[in-house]
Amino acid sequence: MNFIKSVKFDSSYPYAPKLKLPQFAFCGRSNVGKSSLINAILNRNIAHISKTPGKTTLINTFIINEMFYLVDLPGYGYAKRSKSMLKSWQYMINNYLKYSDNLIMVYVLIDSRHKAMKSDMDFIEWLVYYHKPFNIVFTKSDKSSQKIINENIENLIKQSNIPYFLTSAKKKKGIDKICRSMRINLENILA
């Protein structure tokens, strides 16, 4: 089941772009695995990955099947950058999400090894406040025990019914489920 037929790098934007086609956006703390997840979904190394947090500083967009975008956003909460730089990133991310009228889904990535942090919770609250559709994606499941992962999932999801995925970009775990869900979301908006 591969619904990815064509992939084209579109652009690296230093500002919030106004995109015309439907979009899936990938957000989360620096180093959580946004670019790796995008590569796993697209089944190629097209988004830049780094061991150093803060690699993606621009909004990178990829056009899929000449029909929709995957949007790789800079990570939030990276402490080693200056305060003013963090503010301008935050502003760019928030501005993009706030004014994009063709946003199908925001994937909020959380490292499955750790409890969600304050910056994650703040970001989720922001999405709720602005009525943005979002799902949670727990990343790097190959790096931790099932027990810890379950605790971290339970801690965040609790009784809420936010859909979530458990993934490993490295082991290609949970990737099919995300693809299936993306396809259903696309079919719904195009119907």
Q: Rule CB under 5 A: which of 9-28 touch Mg ion?
A: none
Minimum distance between the CB of residue 56 and ligand GTP, rounded to whole angstroms?
3
DSSP code for 46: -
* Of the residues 35, 100, 141, 168, which one makes contact with Mg ion according to CB under 5 A: 35
DSSP 52-77: STT---SEEEEEETTTEEEEEPPPB-
163 is a contact residue toward ligand GTP (CB under 6 A)? no
> What distances in angstroms separate CA 90 from CA 35, 58, 126, 154, one per listed residue?
18, 11, 12, 28
61 binds, among ligand GTP, Mg ion, none (CB under 5 to 8 A by kind): none
* Of the residues 19, 23, 30, 64, which one makes contact with ligand GTP according to CB under 6 A: 30
- For Mg ion (CB under 5 A), the number of binding residues is 4
- For ligand GTP (CB under 6 A), the number of binding residues is 23
Minimum distance between the CB of residue 53 and ligand GTP, rounded to whole angstroms?
5
Token pair for 148: 């810890």
* Of the residues 31, 39, 56, 152, which one makes contact with Mg ion according to CB under 5 A: 56
Judging by beta carbons within 10 Å of its beta carbon (0-12, 13-18, 19+), is residue 86 exposed, middle or buried?
Answer: middle
Q: Rule CB under 6 A: which of 108-147 touch ligand GTP?
A: 139-140, 142-143
31 binds, among ligand GTP, Mg ion, none (CB under 5 to 8 A by kind): ligand GTP
Q: Across-strand partners of 168?
A: 173
Helix axes 175-190, 34-42, angle to 10 degrees: 80
DSSP code for 20: S
DSSP 101-147: TTEEEEEEEEETTSPPPHHHHHHHHHHHHTT--EEEEEE-GGGS-HH
Q: Which residue is nearest to ligand GTP (CB)?
A: 75
102 binds, among Mg ion, ligand GTP, none (CB under 5 to 8 A by kind): none
53 binds, among Mg ion, ligand GTP, none (CB under 5 to 8 A by kind): ligand GTP
* Of the residues 19, 24, 56, 179, which one makes contact with ligand GTP according to CB under 6 A: 56
d(CA 30, CA 57): 10
Positions that interact with ligand GTP (CB under 6 A)? 28, 30-36, 49-51, 53-56, 75, 139-140, 142-143, 168-170
